[in-house]
Amino acid sequence: MPQRTLVILKPDAVRRGLTGEIIGRIERKADWSLAALELRTLDRATLEQHYAEHEGRPFYEPLVEFMASGPSVVMVVEGERVIEGVRALAGPTDPIAAAPGSVRGDFGTIVRENLIHASDSEESAEREMKIFFPSFA
Ligand code: RTP
Ligand code: MG
């Protein structure tokens, strides 16, 4: 079933020059393609909307600060089962627990700077695409 998902290559991925590597992994999956892509420094208001579910948690403030600390690559990826698929390609939140072969497992060590965000459900994907690409969805 074709789907769309909102993917962010976080500021650590851009700073470390890993965006080509990660985009390449996404592009090489059969029947997946890029529907939107932009290099953008995310502002606080956008991040507060995006991470509203985490407001009040101890990691929220440092997370928002990190996410605003430099440019990110914001993308919409479309294709067969892409919501579940990009989450699998990313690996679990904690990069040390993530298997080698996944983006977080191959390149990450600390939980906050885990390189990539991907929508976790169809509802999240719709909500997040509207936040980052209001004219697109
Ligand atoms: P994401 O939303 O970025 O795709 O990641 P996720 O679903 O795997 O993780 P989530 O629980 O939604 O957390 C969002 C992001 O917050 C940072 N985080 N830091 N204990 C901590 O320091 C902590 N926990 C979460 C990570 O950047 C995580 O991706
Ligand atoms: Mg999440």
Enter the tokens of residue 63.
């997370």
Tell me which amino acid residue 79 is.
Answer: G
pLDDT tens by residue, 92-102: 999 999 999 99
Residue with tokens 């992994």: 25
Q: For residues 129 and 9, what is the distance between their CA atoms, to the nearest angstrom?
A: 15
Catalytic residue among 18, 117, 119, 132: 117
**112 close to ligand 1 (CB < 6 Angstrom):** yes
State in Å: Cα 54 to ligand 1 middle. Answer: 9
Categorize the per-residue pLDDT at 28 as very low, low, confident or very high, splitting at 50, 70 and 90: very high
Q: Which ligand is nearest to the CA of 92?
A: 1
For 42-75, the pLDDT digits (tens) are 999 999 999 999 999 999 999 999 999 999 999 9
What three-state secondary structure class fits 81?
coil
Locate tokens 């470390």: which residue?
16
**Cα–chain-centroid distance for residue 62?**
17
- To the question of pTM greater than 0.95 for the whole model, the response is yes
pLDDT tens, residue by residue, 77-87: 999 999 999 99
Relative to the alpha carbon of 8, which ligand is closest? 1
Q: What is the gyration radius of the CA atoms in the chain, in angstroms?
A: 14
Which listed CATH number (2.60.40.10, 3.30.70.141, 3.40.50.720, 3.40.50.1100) goes with 2-132?
A: 3.30.70.141
**pLDDT at residue 137 tops 70:** no
Residue 51 alpha carbon, nearest atom of ligand 1: 14
Which of 57, 39, 60, 36 has its CA nearest to residue 48? 60
Q: Structural domain boundaries of the chain?
A: 2-132
Decide: 120 in ligand 1 pocket, CB within 6 A: yes
Look up 50 and say whether it is catalytic: no
